[in-house]
Structure 1
Amino acid sequence: MNASETHAPQVEVVVSDCSATDAGNLFAELCRQFGSDRAAEEAPHEAHTSRPTIWTGTFDTSATRGTAERPSPPAPLSGPVKAELQGEPRAVERLRRALDELYAVHQLGVVAGDQEIDVELRLESRTRP
């Protein structure tokens, strides 16, 4: 078995500690760049309970849709967004690089296993001059 056969391009993204609007904007940006189990226009909604709401999406980093130039900056986030990326290290790194292009990214933690990595990030809108 060679390295290309063991590469799993899917990354699960779990978003929390934010509004449904911010989660939707983040997922829409990722859908513009990668294949996903979500549609770009699929709007997350708040659960009306006392428990925190999380949103998930799976992104195929081998199915790149993005272009070299962005026509406009991403929609601003209303506050920090917590995102957890889980998957094969190369796939997670590819998705992380895409996030770095869109937002200010702060790594909060990382757990690495034999064949998977779990990275916890805080995303914020970039300040524009």
Structure 2
Amino acid sequence: MNSPVAHAPQVEVVVSGCSASDAGSLFAELCRLFSSDRRAEDVPHETAGSRPTMWTGTFDMSSAPGAPERLEPPASLSGPVKAELQGEPRAVERLRRALDAMYVVHQLGVVAGDQEVDVELRLESRGMA
């Protein structure tokens, strides 16, 4: 008997326009909620040179979000962070709602295809906006 394999909707998150510390804080918060190819304690590193640095992580939206381990707000970002979310539309929306609960989120753009959506966001700590 052939049974369909359940598709685990994943969202790729690309973070740029910020410090390695801010990227690490954002990824740590998402890792508290969703399974990922990253660990919460993974520390992004700056790269030398004139090219912009981007950090990526993939998050699995197929399971229920984890319970926050603490009741404190997320670590403050030192400035705005650009985040690009790419994946299946419902999965991207689910991750977007999680970000909305933690940060002030400004949508900068969206590109929608048949099976995938790409959303560009600017995230700010509450109180910065």
The TM-score, its normalising length taken from structure 2, stands at 0.90
Would the alpha carbon gap of residues 7 and 90 (structure 1) be closer, same or farther in structure 2, given more than 3 Å must change? farther
User: Match of 1:51?
Assistant: 51
Post-superposition offset of 1:71: 1.4
Shift of 1:92: 0.1
Q: Give the AA of the match of 2:79.
A: G
Within the alignment, does 1:121 sit opposite 2:96 as a pair? no
Specify whether residues 114 and 6 from structure 1 end up closer, same or farther in structure 2 by C-alpha distance, changes over 3 A only. Answer: farther
Matched with 2:24 is 24
Query: 1:60 aligns to what?
Result: 60
Q: Is the 8 A contact 1:31 1:38 kept in 2?
A: yes
Q: TM-score, normalised by structure 1?
A: 0.90
Name structure 1 gaps, 5 residues minimum: none
Deviations 1:39-88 (A, max 9, x none): 00000000011110000000001133422785110000000000000000
Aligned length: 125
Residues 32 and 67 of structure 2 are in contact (CA less than 8 Å); yes or no, is this contact kept in structure 1?
A: no
Tell me the distance in 2 between the aligned counterparts of 1:77 and 1:56: 17
Q: Specify the alignment match of 2:93 in structure 1.
A: 93
Q: What RMSD in Å do the two structures reach over aligned CA positions?
A: 2.0
Q: Secondary structure at the match of 1:62?
A: coil
SS at match of 1:15: strand
Structure 1 counterpart of 2:36, which letter? S
Stretches of structure 2 that go unaligned for 5 or more consecutive residues are none
TM superposition shift of 1:7:
5.2
**In structure 2, what is the Cα distance between the partners aligned to 1:110 and 1:8?**
22
Aligned 1:27-38 pairs, distance under 5 A: 27-38=27-38
**Partners of 1:11 and 1:79 in 2: how far apart?**
24
Percent identity over paired residues: 76
Once the two structures are TM-superposed, the CA of residue 90 in structure 1 deviates from its matched residue by 0.3
Decide whether aligned partners of structure 1 residues 6 and 89 sit closer, same or farther in structure 2, where only a CA change above 3 A counts.
farther
> What's the CA shift string for 1:8-57, capped at 9, x where partnerless?
41000000000000000000000000000000000000001111000000
